[in-house]
């Protein structure tokens, strides 16, 4: 059966997974990242903490594919909301992911476009989008969820003008710091993926305070959806 690689960027995002896994093997370290193999609700999983940002996420994703034979990659964690319909705690399931900080506009490229590359907006896998959507419809009783574009960059966004740009011009539902790197590596390796994010903040002037307050609760919500997904995959 397929091994599912599950990535979080921070301890809060993977702690409940590590608690829930059984038959855990001794962690294996590759490229400075610790990977834990085991079973979760009867499925083979490898869980790891990538660290923050696109380079860490890219390294981790490639190791999951090459060293652990992951046949699919899921990300679980938190993000800043861009779509005004989203409140703290709400969920975004990636339809696709794009790097919002890729900027070759002086050369005539739109923001987010990587020159000389066929794809800059990496589509998530329809089967796993549907799995996540069905999980949300079962699990998300008090919170909204939507399927939308995830924007990733190596910056913590805490500015409502930036939010306006990322939402209105770049069509982002939420902003975080890893999804597009995972999406690009998965695309390059023909491995399906989906990113799941619960909103910890609104990426505005209060984002730092809200992030500190709501990251644990939002991480738990994302975990609960992953747990439902794994039971139905
Ligand atoms: N992850 C959670 N909130 C974020 C924000 N405001 N910007 C970037 N990544 C985030």
In this prediction, residues 110-136 reach a mean pLDDT of 98
Going from the C-alpha of 97 to that of each of 2, 14, 141, 173, the distances in angstroms are: 23, 21, 26, 10
Name the CATH code of domain 3-232 (choices 3.30.300.160, 3.40.50.970, 3.40.50.300, 3.40.50.1580): 3.40.50.1580
Q: What pLDDT does residue 140 have?
A: 86
Average confidence (pLDDT) over 6-30: 97
Mutate to test the pocket of ligand 1, among 176, 178, 218 (most ligand atoms within 8 A of CB): 176
The Cβ of residue 159 has, within 10 Å, a number of other Cβ atoms equal to 15
Quick check: pTM over 0.90? yes
Burial 165-190 (b: 16+ CB within 10 A, else e): bbbeebbbbbbbbbbbbbbbbbbeee
Distance 211 CA to ligand 1 centre (A): 8
For residue 43, pLDDT over 90 is answered with: yes
pLDDT in tens, 125-148: 999 999 999 999 999 888 899 999
Mean pLDDT of the chain: 97
Q: What was the ipTM of the complex prediction?
A: 0.99
Query: Where are the chain's structural domains?
Result: 3-232
Report the pLDDT averaged over residues 192-219.
97
């Amino acid at each position: 059966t397929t091994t599912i690689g599950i990535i979080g960027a921070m301890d809060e995002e993977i702690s409940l997974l590590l608690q829930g896994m059984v038959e855990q093997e001794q962690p294996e370290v590759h490229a400075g990242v610790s990977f834990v193999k085991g079973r979760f609700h009867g499925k083979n999983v490898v869980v790891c903490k990538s660290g923050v940002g696109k380079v860490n996420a890219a390294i981790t994703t490639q190791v999951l594919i090459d060293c652990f034979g992951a046949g699919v990659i899921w990300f679980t964690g938190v993000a800043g909301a861009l779509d005004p319909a989203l409140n703290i705690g709400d969920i975004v399931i990636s339809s696709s992911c794009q790097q919002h900080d890729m900027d070759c506009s002086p050369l005539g490229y739109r923001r987010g476009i990587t020159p000389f590359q066929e794809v800059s907006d990496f589509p998530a896998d329809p089967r796993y989008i549907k799995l996540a959507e069905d999980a949300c419809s079962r699990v998300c009783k008090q919170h909204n969820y939507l399927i939308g574009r995830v924007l990733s960059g190596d910056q913590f966004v805490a500015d409502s003008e930036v939010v306006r740009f990322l939402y209105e011009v770049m069509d982002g539902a939420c902003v975080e710091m890893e999804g597009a790197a995972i999406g690009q590596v998965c695309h390059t390796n023909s491995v399906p993926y989906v990113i799941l994010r619960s909103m910890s903040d609104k990426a505005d002037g209060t984002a730092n305070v809200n992030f500190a307050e709501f990251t644990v609760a939002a991480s738990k919500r994302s975990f609960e959806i992953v747990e439902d997904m794994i039971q139905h995959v």
